[in-house]
Amino acid sequence: MSQQRVFTLSQVAQHKSKKDCWLVIDGRVLQVTKFLEEHPGGEEVVLELAGKDATMEFKDVGHSKAAQGMLRKYQVGILQGYAPKDEDSKDASIEESKGTEMSASVIKDDSSHRYEAFMEFFVPLVVAGSYFCYSYLSVVAN
């Protein structure tokens, strides 16, 4: 897995022309030069935000899941100070496996808790039952 390149906002700001257009969305640095003509919302709106953080504007439009997924295709790096949210990245998979471990231990804890609750109910029942049997047998024997 390749390491993400990290850019500052002023580095991104140097790419704000139609022939070299970058922008930032959700901490991802995107190279959208080739996408400008394809953008269903037109190139003007994207060009206005060229070289800037367009996260708010991107979200305000209410872009579809498909549009959000397209962001990864144009990603050339991440903005300084942002943790990569890429599901493919090593960190994400570590987080993911941590999550699995955690939920597994929660399930384990839960089942041992149920076992304890069961024993708390069952043991006194056996003790009380034994006592009544003993008393009954003593009465019958006498």
Scanning 8-16, 61-69, 92-100, 124-132 for contacts with ligand HEM by CB under 6 A, the matching segment is: 61-69
- If binding is defined by CB under 6 A, does position 78 make contact with ligand HEM? no
Scanning 9-17, 41-49, 99-107, 117-125 for contacts with ligand HEM by CB under 6 A, the matching segment is: 41-49
> Closer CB to ligand HEM, residue 65 or residue 81?
65
The backbone torsions φ and ψ at residue 126, rounded to the nearest 5 degrees and listed phi first, read: -65, -45
> Closer CB to ligand HEM, residue 57 or residue 86?
57
> Closer CB to ligand HEM, residue 7 or residue 58?
58
DSSP class of 4: P
- If binding is defined by CB under 6 A, does position 71 make contact with ligand HEM? yes
- If binding is defined by CB under 6 A, does position 21 make contact with ligand HEM? no
How far apart are alpha carbons 73 and 70 in whole angstroms?
A: 5
- If binding is defined by CB under 6 A, does position 76 make contact with ligand HEM? no
> Closer CB to ligand HEM, residue 71 or residue 76?
71
Look up residue 126 and give its two tokens.
């056996």
Reported for 98-101, long-range contacts at CB under 8 A and 24+ positions apart, including other chains, are: none
Transcribe 29-60 into DSSP letters.
Answer: EEE-TTTTTT-TT-HHHHHHTTTSB-HHHHHH
How far apart are alpha carbons 97 and 65 in whole angstroms?
A: 25
- If binding is defined by CB under 6 A, does position 64 make contact with ligand HEM? yes
